[in-house]
């Protein structure tokens, strides 16, 4: 029996994970390991993909991928794991006799949607984008701030479930930690999903770095009623832990005090441990470590722990193999790694990377068994499940999605009309006032016709754009954006893409630049490229004022509905182009659809307003630079060159139009018509 055979509400135990390559690695990292219980939550409206609950969080798989995971319903006893959390402890880190610098370089690492960027923003007073779905951070963000006499250089790295080399963000995070050598790694963990989040922590343990864990979203963990001795777990794994609630700015100061203590070697919790992978694998690791520690390999081992390199070589990690190629004994190292890996796989009848992944989860399971006590309450339906019964319902999901988008555009007119009118009147009053008090000269024309007429004509649309950004931010913060990807995956699959591509498409409503950056979360290079190529069909905020202007002028009765139709047509056209590309230029098989469905969260109103204003601020910057410069250039083209004698106002307009650069550039344009109109106006006077 496979996962695909189960019905909604069924529970089963995983007995085998089939498949190979990136899919197998990713699915195991997400917690689909032998012996774990999985629950079928529901099917998407079109029966594909399927939402499952495993390790306390929701994840969706396509039916074709679910068929590769074998399960059993009978005998629901978890499979025995040979690696039950037994630790081998090395000596504690030695105190440094040298006085440390007062500058601490900190790298923030964690799973997608764990709250890294929220902590980054709070600590450094930055305004980086946050949201309740994975993949918000798609590049490293840097900031600097002072605290308690120390200067912190923070780097917010993209969210990643592990540090393999299957996706760009995973490789980016690993390369940064290896090449940049941060003083302290801040591992941000979603406290409500400990088992899954600690998998990344085990990889940091292998790297032998100074780490501090932020148990973020601690309030959600407390709501569950579980009891967790995080001090004991911290001592067990040699990493201090600090509970935080990033959305409410709780525990942030204590967190950075702990980072200072770890940096200064004052925290007694810190020590390096080894995760025991079993006698045979440990023997293989030791053989490779001895080879890596030979003379001439210092260029590599000074940056990367030999044990970590050995593990990656046994896993046949492509980047790990590239790193050792410059070693004097590279051939011997690679040959030994291949032989040891073959011997272990032959003995265990399983791929070595799967064996090591199982060992890590076994370590986590054993550690949490000693420190985590789940609440003794009957399983209850979570708030997210209740909401999902409506939001992702077979019959209601698409109408709700379309209604949400329609309401967004309708609100931009119904609500935006009032501030738009106020700003428009303010510009008119300002122009009339300046016209009365300023003498007639070139500077007056520049201010009134050039700057106020140009920039003022665009700034009136600022309220509409802020309202659009507000609704998009609201969908991101609540967790609804990830559900949209879930319900449209089947349709996206028809054009050769998957649900993950739809999130950048929706982000393109705001701006295509961050939308293109967001495509980095798509694992497959071809799908990523196709998504980037169709993003220009998404109407960004720069086109928004043009749409509003035309619709308001010609279609006063159904403005919101028409704007909604324009945006929907853009999505439809993007889908058609994507289908053509996948059938002709990019004939590559799509990757598995594996995406976390975060729990619904009540958006923090202050945070939503901050993100909305931040996006609106970018629009204002464009008006203060590009639009202002363009307005002045257009004004100058219509104003120069001036005639020698221009006395009367109408004569001035006629002669100005006849002699201006704009008229010469557009000889067949409307300048002659305007001259005729002004001539007629003069004759009537």
Q: Residue 673 to residues 335, 339, 655: CA-CA distances in angstroms?
A: 83, 85, 13
Indicate whether 87 pLDDT > 50.
Answer: no
> Are 402 and 544 part of one and the same domain?
yes
> Are 185 and 224 part of one and the same domain?
yes
% pLDDT > 90, the chain: 29
> Are 162 and 259 part of one and the same domain?
yes
> Are 124 and 71 part of one and the same domain?
no
Into how many domains does the chain fold?
Answer: 4
Ramachandran sector of residue 162 (left: φ over 0; alpha: ψ -120 to 50; beta: rest): beta
Alpha-carbon distance of 355 to 279, in angstroms, equals 13
Q: Are strands 87-89 and 273-275 parallel, antiparallel or unpaired?
A: antiparallel
Contact 276, 205 (CB under 8 A): no
With 0-12 / 13-18 / 19 or more C-beta atoms within 10 angstroms meaning exposed / middle / buried, residue 12 is buried
Residue 553 pLDDT level (bands cut at 50, 70, 90): confident
Residue 290 lies in a domain: yes
Tokens of 504: 């950048």
Indicate whether 653 pLDDT > 60.
Answer: no
pLDDT digits (tens, 9 = 90+) for 411-469: 888 888 889 889 989 989 998 999 899 988 888 888 988 888 888 877 888 888 888 88
> Are 214 and 283 part of one and the same domain?
no
pLDDT of residue 239: 96
Alpha-carbon distance of 264 to 117, in angstroms, equals 25
Residue 588 pLDDT level (bands cut at 50, 70, 90): low
pLDDT of residue 1: 85
Indicate whether 133 pLDDT > 90.
Answer: no
pLDDT of residue 235: 94
> Are 181 and 311 part of one and the same domain?
no
Of 22-26, 489-493, 587-591, the poorest mean pLDDT is in 587-591
Residue 659 pLDDT level (bands cut at 50, 70, 90): low
> Are 246 and 288 part of one and the same domain?
no
Ramachandran sector of residue 208 (left: φ over 0; alpha: ψ -120 to 50; beta: rest): left
pLDDT digits (tens, 9 = 90+) for 252-287: 999 999 999 999 989 999 998 999 998 999 999 999
Average pLDDT over residues 542-550: 83
> Are 228 and 343 part of one and the same domain?
no
Alpha-carbon distance of 390 to 411, in angstroms, equals 23
Cα–Cα nearest to 221, from 253, 189, 249: 189
Alpha-carbon distance of 668 to 441, in angstroms, equals 29
Q: What is the mean pLDDT of the chain?
A: 82
Indicate whether 647 pLDDT > 60.
Answer: no
CATH number at residue 151: 3.40.50.300
> Are 268 and 285 part of one and the same domain?
no
Q: If you count them, how many residues does the chain have?
A: 685
pLDDT of residue 664: 60
Residue 365 lies in a domain: no
Residue 22 pLDDT level (bands cut at 50, 70, 90): low
pLDDT of residue 28: 82
Average pLDDT over residues 47-52: 86
Indicate whether 68 pLDDT > 80.
Answer: yes
Indicate whether 295 pLDDT > 60.
Answer: yes
Range of the domain at 25: 3-80
Residue 325 pLDDT level (bands cut at 50, 70, 90): very high
> Are 266 and 122 part of one and the same domain?
yes
pLDDT of residue 591: 58
């Amino acid at each position: 029996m496979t996962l695909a055979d189960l019905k909604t509400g069924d529970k089963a135990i995983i007995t085998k994970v089939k498949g190979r390559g990136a899919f197998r690695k990713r699915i195991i990292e997400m917690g689909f390991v032998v012996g774990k219980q999985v629950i079928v939550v529901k099917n998407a409206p079109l029966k594909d993909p399927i939402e499952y609950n495993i390790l306390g969080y929701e994840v969706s798989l396509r039916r074709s991928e679910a068929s590769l995971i074998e399960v059993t319903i009978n005998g629901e006893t978890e499979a025995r794991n040979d690696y039950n959390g037994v630790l081998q402890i090395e000596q504690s880190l030695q105190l440094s006799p040298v006085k440390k610098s007062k500058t601490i370089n900190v790298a923030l690492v964690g799973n997608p949607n764990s709250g890294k960027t929220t902590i980054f923003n709070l600590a450094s007073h930055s305004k980086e984008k946050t949201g309740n779905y994975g993949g918000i951070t798609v590049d490293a963000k840097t900031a600097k701030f002072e605290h308690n006499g120390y200067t912190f250089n923070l780097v917010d790295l993209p969210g990643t479930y592990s540090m393999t080399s299957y996706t760009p963000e995973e490789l980016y995070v690993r390369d940064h930690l290896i090449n940049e050598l941060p003083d302290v790694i801040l591992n941000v963990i979603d406290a409500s999903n400990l088992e899954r989040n600690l998998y990344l922590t085990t990889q940091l343990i292998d790297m032998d770095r100074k780490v501090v864990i932020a148990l973020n979203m601690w309030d959600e963990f407390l709501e569950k009623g579980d009891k967790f001795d995080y001090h004991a777990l911290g001592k067990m794994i040699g990493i201090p832990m600090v509970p935080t609630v990033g959305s409410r700015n709780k525990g942030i100061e204590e967190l950075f005090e702990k980072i200072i203590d770890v940096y200064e070697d004052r925290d007694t919790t810190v020590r390096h441990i080894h995760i025991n992978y079993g006698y045979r694998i440990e023997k293989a690791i030791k053989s490779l470590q001895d080879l890596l520690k030979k003379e001439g390999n210092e260029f590599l081992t000074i940056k990367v722990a030999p044990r970590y390199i050995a593990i990656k070589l046994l896993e046949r990690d492509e980047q790990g193999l590239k790193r050792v190629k410059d070693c004097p004994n590279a051939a011997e190292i690679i040959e030994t790694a291949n032989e040891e890996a073959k011997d272990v796989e032959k003995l265990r009848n399983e791929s070595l990377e799967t064996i090591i992944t199982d060992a890590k989860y076994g370590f986590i399971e054993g550690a949490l068994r000693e420190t985590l006590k789940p609440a003794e309450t009957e399983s209850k339906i979570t708030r997210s499940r209740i909401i999902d019964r409506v939001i992702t319902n077979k019959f209601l999901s698409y109408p709700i999605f379309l209604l949400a988008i329609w309401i967004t555009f309708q609100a931009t007119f119904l609500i935006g009309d009032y501030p738009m009118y106020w700003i428009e009147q303010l510009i008119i009053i300002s122009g009339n006032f300046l016209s009365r008090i300023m003498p007639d000269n070139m500077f007056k024309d520049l201010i009134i016709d050039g700057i106020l007429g140009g920039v003022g004509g665009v700034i009136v649309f600022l309220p509409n754009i802020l309202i659009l950004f507000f609704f998009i931010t609201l969908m991101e913060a609540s967790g609804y954006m990830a559900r949209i990807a879930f319900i449209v995956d089947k349709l996206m699959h028809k054009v050769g893409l998957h649900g993950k591509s739809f999130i950048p498409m929706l982000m393109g409503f705001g701006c295509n630049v961050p939308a293109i950056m967001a495509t980095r979360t798509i694992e497959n290079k071809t799908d990523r490229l196709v998504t980037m190529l169709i993003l220009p069909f998404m109407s960004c905020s720069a086109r928004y004022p043009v749409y509003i202007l035309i619709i308001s002028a010609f279609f006063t009765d159904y403005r919101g509905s028409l704007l909604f139709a324009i945006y929907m047509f853009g999505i439809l056209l993007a889908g058609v182009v994507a289908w053509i590309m996948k059938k002709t230029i990019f004939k590559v098989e799509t990757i598995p659809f594996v995406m976390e469905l975060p729990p619904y969260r009540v958006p923090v109103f202050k945070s939503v307003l901050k993100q909305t204003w931040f996006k609106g601020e970018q629009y204002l910057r464009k008006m203060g630079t590009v639009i202002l410069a363009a307005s002045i250039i257009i004004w100058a083209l219509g104003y120069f060159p001036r005639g020698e004698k221009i006395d009367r106002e109408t004569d001035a307009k006629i002669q100005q139009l006849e002699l201006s650069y704009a008229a010469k550039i557009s000889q067949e344009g409307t300048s002659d018509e305007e001259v005729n109109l002004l001539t007629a106006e003069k004759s009537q006077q």
